[in-house]
Structure 1
Amino acid sequence: MPKTAPKSKVRKAAKPALLSGGNPQIAKADGDAPVQPYIAAMPGWKREVGRRLDALIVRTVPGVQKAVRWNSPFYGVEGQGWFLSFHCFTHYVKVAFFCGASLRPLPPGMSKQKDVRYLDIHEDDQLDEAQLAVWVKQASQLPGERM
């Protein structure tokens, strides 16, 4: 009887843990490589929101820089800093514009920080991608946050 090769041990990459609100736990890192596993681990309907946000940002800001910080994807322009991030909560995805108070029209969500504005996206919301693209473009042209 011929000897068979030992079964190879293929390790599956562990799925990221979900923190409170279903936010994926992803280690701090730069580039698209950590952002894509974050989006893939977003639970349920939020995953499609994450994919749409990421695609819209990439289309709107050629050469956008990406990273994961504090278990959230961050988007920025090299030499200018970060202009946007998003984060999963139990019932919505929160998009943070770091210089949102300078955007026109203002994004609807206020912050305790005077310059930050938010857009909360709920499951049944009709995402106004045209307006979001306008905000993303404006935000990418402002001085960003250094983190």
Structure 2
Amino acid sequence: MAGKTPKKAVKATKKTPAKKTAAKTTAAKRATAKATKPRKAAAKSASADGAGPVLLSGGNPQIAKGYGDAPVQAYIAAMPGWKSDLGRRLDALITRTVPHVQKAVKWNSPLYGIEGDGWFLGLHVFNKYVKVAFFRGASLRPLPPGESKQKEVRYLDIREDDSLDEAQFVNWVKQASQMPGERM
């Protein structure tokens, strides 16, 4: 055992009442500081003056649940930046392809469906793209490119610089609208 130093015995120490009180006071100060520390807001305003729509994490507009065209149009108007123009374009294509489409905003996402058959498509805003969810997308031909953890769902993610193949999108909307929708 040449060159090794012998282990030192560790001495257990008891806290005196004064040390216990100091430890409690320090812990209480930390808890108070943590409780009063400003927290990161879950929602933020889209405009600098706070007058714009509330955006949730990822830039998704917070719009009250509602049925019909009005809440969907409010959602589209609240989509930040280039996404609002894309939302209007997608809504127009869907409405033109399926004139009797039913609309709603649920779970902060516009949904499109057929009365009595359920929802076939939904939109959702993220920081860098808009996600189109085809709820029975696994049955569409050709398959929309985005996979899901849910077997039937397929996605189309559209980024700012992407070119939208309108003919293909309309084809998917037409197919999706003719399938039984998702009951939500």
Which secondary structure does the structure 2 equivalent of 1:82 belong to? Answer: strand
Distance 1:85 1:15 in 2: 23
Q: 1:72 aligns with which of 86, 101, 109?
A: 109
Cα deviation code 1:44-70 (max 9, x no counterpart): 010111000000000000110000010
Does 2:74 match 1:31?
Answer: no
Which secondary structure does the structure 1 equivalent of 2:131 belong to? Answer: strand
Distance 1:15 1:102 in 2: 39
Partner of 1:123: 160
Residue type of the alignment partner of 1:28: K
Does 2:55 match 1:18?
Answer: yes
> Unaligned 5+ residue runs, structure 1?
1-13
Give aligned pairs, total: 134
Partner of 1:48: 85
Distance 2:124 2:134 in 1: 12
Distance 1:16 1:30 in 2: 19
The RMSD of aligned alpha carbons is 0.8
Q: 1:92 aligns with which of 129, 135, 143?
A: 129
Residue type of the alignment partner of 1:19: L
- Give the greater-gyration-radius structure (CA): 2
**TM-score in terms of structure 2 length:** 0.72
- How far 1:21 moved relative to its partner? 1.2
- How far 1:15 moved relative to its partner? 3.9
Q: Which has the higher contact order (CA 8 A, sep 6+)?
A: 1
Distance 1:71 1:79 in 2: 22
Residue type of the alignment partner of 1:82: W
TM superposition outliers: structure 1 runs of 4+ over 6 Å: none
- How far 1:16 moved relative to its partner? 2.6
Q: 1:133 aligns with which of 124, 147, 170?
A: 170
Partner of 1:101: 138
Distance 2:62 2:144 in 1: 27
Cα deviation code 1:98-144 (max 9, x no counterpart): 00000000000000000000000000000001000000000000000
Which secondary structure does the structure 1 equivalent of 2:122 belong to? Answer: strand
Residue type of the alignment partner of 1:124: D
Partner of 2:38: none
